[in-house]
Amino acid sequence: MEKNTALYDEILKNGPSQTTLHIVLARMKGEGRINEVIKWCMTFLRVYPKDIHLRMLFAECYLAIGSVGQAEAEFLKVSSMINDLLPVYARLAGIYAKQKRFVEAAGEAEMFLAHHPDDSEMREILKIVEETRADGAAGPDPEWPVLPDDEEGSLVNFATPTIAELYFSQGQLDAAVETYERVLEEHPHDNVSAERLAQLKTQLETDSISETKASRNVHRQEKKVLAILEKWLPRVGEIKYG
């Protein structure tokens, strides 16, 4: 156990990747070191505030020690983060409707509408799906075409602010900008989308400037962690995990 503690602490103090961080903290929680996990979660959530797995672990640790109020606050943050990812249902509904996979399109649209019942885009897709069903389509068309991911313009008909924000939530700024540009081509007087496009372009320029510095920092951190692992490798076989 002492060897585990020393190894974990050394890795955590030297800036592990998010994947390594999740593994180490999960093992520490499994060994009953709840208060230490809480401390490290507090530290790393300042670095990765949108890491949903880390936030969940943080909330579960608070719950484990009986801090219900703090657990509730963290679970509410997780809920908010999940809500930000809900546009994935809208995107899938659009893809399935384009491919004539009507049952699946309806299912995804209904999932999104359960959280955003007033969304006009999803209601329109659901309406089209229901009308198609009424005309005799009982399920997915077995002949629906599979569109390659890299087919240029394959989703042009579904270029909407919802999809643009989905790209943004996934960190795909280039795709978000391109989608908003398509929206404005079709709706040149959409001032809200124009303003959002300007914000994203500014962010894209800023990110490109800082990207080189960030990549250098990550590389340095990775070298530190590798050095630690190489140092501990001869001892790893002796460690017994609980």
Which residue intervals of the chain bear CATH 1.25.40.10? 2-84
Q: Which residue would you say has higher pLDDT here, 233 or 159?
A: 159
Reported as a pLDDT band with limits 50, 70 and 90, residue 11 is: confident
Torsion of CA 144, 150, 154, 156, to 10 degrees: 150
Spatial contact of 3 and 233, defined as CB atoms under 8 Å apart: no
pTM above 0.85, yes or no: no
Q: What is the pLDDT of residues 89-133, one digit of tens each?
A: 888 888 887 777 878 888 888 888 888 888 888 888 878 777 776
Domain 159-242 is in which class?
mainly alpha
**pLDDT value, residue 210:** 59
Instruction: Tell me the C-alpha distance between 74 and 81, whole Å.
Output: 11
Region 2-84: CATH code: 1.25.40.10
Q: Which pLDDT tens digit goes with each residue over 126-153?
A: 787 777 766 654 444 444 444 444 444 4
What is the percentage of the chain residues whose pLDDT exceeds 70? 71
